[in-house]
Structure formats: structure tokens, C-alpha cells
Amino acid sequence: MNLSSTTNIAISLVLFAYTLFYTPFIFEHYVPFNIRITTELVLILTTLLLSFFYNRIQRQVIIFMILVLASFSIAMLSDRNNFIEHISFFNKIIILLLIAQVLINRFSLLKLFSYLWVRFVVAISVLTIFAFIGYILGFVDFSAYQFSEGRYYLNNLWLGNISPRNYIVSVPAISGYLFEPIYLGFFFGLNIVISKQLINDSKKLSRFIVLNSVAGLLTFSVTYYLFLLFYVLRRLINDNLKFTIAMIVFMLSLLFVFFYTDMFYVTSIYERLATIKILLDFIVNSDFREVLLGSGVEWYKSHINIGVDSAILVMIINRGVMITIVFLALIYTMTKHNSSLVIFILFYSLAIPFNNFSLFYIIIGLQFALYKHRTAASNFFFYQNTV
């Protein structure tokens, strides 16, 4: 094994560690803060050094970094009491920019990390399906476990957690190694919409999509079900009718049950819609300075006493329109080649705070690097220099 291969493996391990050590994965609860922050700093320094070593940092990247640093300075001036939260958020943006550049510059690393990522996703999918079957048939033991105050799971050391939900009947909503079933559904959905960039072989691609789709259904997340309905409808429009008609009928049946029973009120969607209305009212009633610069990280919780659900609306309240625009411009620049991904991000932005997920930034950087290599558009955003 040569030095280049060893370096690629080491960087890939750091990327996976950074992904797993933070929300939405439950390992954040167990991994000490010092280890998490060290992993983050190692990733930033490594990718920064590699960016300078293989190629100069491009003008567009520098522009976004300047915007990010300027936004950070503004955030600190308007909200000095939440330094750690600001550092964490802006580190994620810097990591996204650096990861994308390094993966494009170092093609051997991109191939290795893509290969490992697909197998990681498949492993999570298989574990999710096995957890559901094992629980239903009773051959896998899940014991009651209090994860934290107010948060209870049925836990199996090897298969993760189950969050029982009562709809028409009690169902074992699989959350696995993530905090919530909706987060696991987000994980599967995100990998579905970038699957064509991850996998070239049509047969392997179909198996990958089916595996993620089935595993996602076992989260019993209504948000995921609505996403999957949209995704299948797009496939119905663009692909063969026979391939999708059965799933369309199934999804419409689920939606009929959802909207014409009490499930609307027992699922989290009712609460999330109510939260969105409260957040919108809060923004409308804020003064110009609060809208522009934000009211401060987590400030709104103490005033309206609700949790974090809508990524974009909460970002506007916490950090203001200026920072939100920079964030959205960067994400759109790196995803606009995939309309399904753009719609997926906008849809889930109403439901979960994915802008706090290291997982999100890793996937966005990965899919953008894959896109740049697939299209060979070397002068559009980053300079392509394969190794």
C-alpha cells in the first residue's frame, strides 16, 4: 500500500468519524466533546492543506469563504453569547467547501469514499430491515431504554433503536442509530435522490433505490412517505409505467388512510405545521434589524417555547436573512444540477433542522464532486485535477 492509498483511507475514516460523531447520529451523545471537536479540526486542517498542496483554492471558493467569515463576524456582533453554536455552524460551511474541493482535486479519494459510502448506506438499510423483521417475528430482543430525559427507545445493541408509534395500530418506527425515525427517513431519502451520481450500473442502481425505499418505509415517517410519493411520481413521468404503478397505488392508499383517519393528529405533521405557522408569525412581527441579523441562536425558544423543526425559518430567526441567503446560495450552487435534490432539501427544510447535520454537508460535498467529474466541467466552480 503506497502513501497515496494510505492517505485516502485515513481521510475517508476522518470523514466517516465526522459524520457519525454529530447529530443526527446518536453517537454524539456518547462521544466526548473533546474527541468530536478534535475530529472536526483535523478534518479542516487536512482538507485545507490538501487544497493548497494539490491546487490553489479557486476564486469562487474564496468568495464564499469571505462571505461566510463576514457572516460569522456579523453573527458574533449581534449575538455574542453563543460563540460555540456560531463556530459549529460556520465550521460546517467551511468543511463543505474544502471537502468538495479535495474530492474533486483527488479523484482516487473520491472513488474510494464513494465506494465506502454506498456500502455504508447499504449496511444501514439492511440493519433497518432486519431490525423490523426481528422485532415483528420476535427473534431479536429489544429492551426498554431511557436514552435521555423524556426520550425512550426499545434498544438492541447491534441493530439500534425502535420508537413505537400509535397510529391506527402500534407500529415499530425504526430510528436505528439516529435520534428520530424522521432523521433516518431523511438519510434514506437523501441517498435515493443522489443515487444516480453514486452508482453507474443500472441494475445495482435499481437495487440500491429499492433497498433504501423499503428501509425508509420502515421508519413510518409521514414526511418520508410524502417524499417517496413525490419521487415515484417523478419516476412515473420520466420512466416506465410498469416499474412504478404498484408503488403509486400503495402510496396513495397510505395517504388515504393518513388523511381520512385520526392519523393526521397523532403524527408529528400536525405539530410541525403548527410550528411553521408560529415561526412565520414571529418573523412577520419582528423588526427590520431582527429579520436582517437574527434574534440570536436559540433565543426564540425561551420566548415561544417550541423545538427546532423548520431549518430555514429557524435559521432566519436565529441568524437573520443575510446569513440564510449566503447559506441557500451556496447549497443551491452545489445542488442545482439535481432538481430532485433541490426539491428534497426545500421539502425537508420545513420538517427538520438538517442544517445542523454534519451528514448533510458530507453528502452535499460528495455529490457535487461526483457531478463535477461526471460532467468534466472543470472551470465552472472548482478546478478539476484528478490524481
Kindly report the length of the chain. 387
What is the pLDDT at residue 231? 85
pLDDT of residue 240 exceeding 90 = no
What is the pLDDT at residue 381? 44
pLDDT of residue 35 exceeding 90 = yes
Question: Higher-confidence residue: 379 or 92?
Answer: 92
Q: Poorest-confidence range of 142-151, 229-238, 360-369?
A: 229-238
pLDDT of residue 334 exceeding 80 = yes
At 250, the pLDDT band (50, 70, 90 cuts) reads: low
What is the pLDDT at residue 289? 66
What is the pLDDT at residue 78? 59
pLDDT of residue 257 exceeding 70 = no
What is the pLDDT at residue 309? 66
Per-residue pLDDT averaged across 28-36, rounded?
92
User: Which distant-in-sequence residues (6+ apart) come within 8 Å of 105 by Cβ?
Assistant: 50, 51, 54, 55, 382, 383, 384, 385, 386, 387
Per-residue pLDDT averaged across 221-242, rounded?
76
Question: Higher-confidence residue: 228 or 305?
Answer: 228
Question: Higher-confidence residue: 329 or 71?
Answer: 329
Question: Higher-confidence residue: 314 or 69?
Answer: 314
Percent of the chain beyond pLDDT 70?
68
pLDDT of residue 192 exceeding 90 = yes
What is the pLDDT at residue 326? 85
Average pLDDT, the chain: 80
Q: Nearest-CA neighbor of 182 among 347, 36, 305?
A: 347
What is the pLDDT at residue 371? 92
pLDDT of residue 8 exceeding 60 = yes
pLDDT of residue 43 exceeding 50 = yes
pLDDT of residue 387 exceeding 50 = no
Per-residue pLDDT averaged across 30-40, rounded?
92
Percent of the chain beyond pLDDT 90?
39
What is the pLDDT at residue 246? 57
What is the pLDDT at residue 3? 63
What is the residue extent of each domain of the chain? 116-266
pLDDT of residue 204 exceeding 50 = yes
Question: Higher-confidence residue: 4 or 308?
Answer: 4
pLDDT of residue 46 exceeding 80 = yes
Q: Poorest-confidence range of 57-71, 218-232, 254-268, 321-335?
A: 254-268
Mapped to the 3 state alphabet, what secondary structure does 106-171 carry?
CHHHHHHHHHHHHHHHHHHHHHHHHHHHHHHHCCCCCEEEEEECCEEEEEECCCEEEEEEECCCEE
What is the pLDDT at residue 32? 94
Using an 8 Å Cβ cutoff, are 156 and 189 in contact?
no
Q: Rounded to whole angstroms, how far apart are CA atoms 19 and 92?
A: 11
Q: What is the pLDDT of residues 123-152, one digit of tens each?
A: 999 999 999 999 999 899 999 887 777 778
Question: Higher-confidence residue: 14 or 352?
Answer: 14
Q: Nearest-CA neighbor of 122 among 205, 53, 197?
A: 205
What is the pLDDT at residue 80? 54
Per-residue pLDDT averaged across 305-321, rounded?
71
User: What global pTM score does this model have?
Assistant: 0.84
What is the pLDDT at residue 91? 87
Residue 247, SS3 per DSSP: helix
Highest mean pLDDT, choosing among 51-60, 168-177, 196-205, 293-302: 196-205
What is the pLDDT at residue 332? 92
Per-residue pLDDT averaged across 279-290, rounded?
68
C-alpha cell at 110: 473520491
C-alpha cell at 263: 392519523
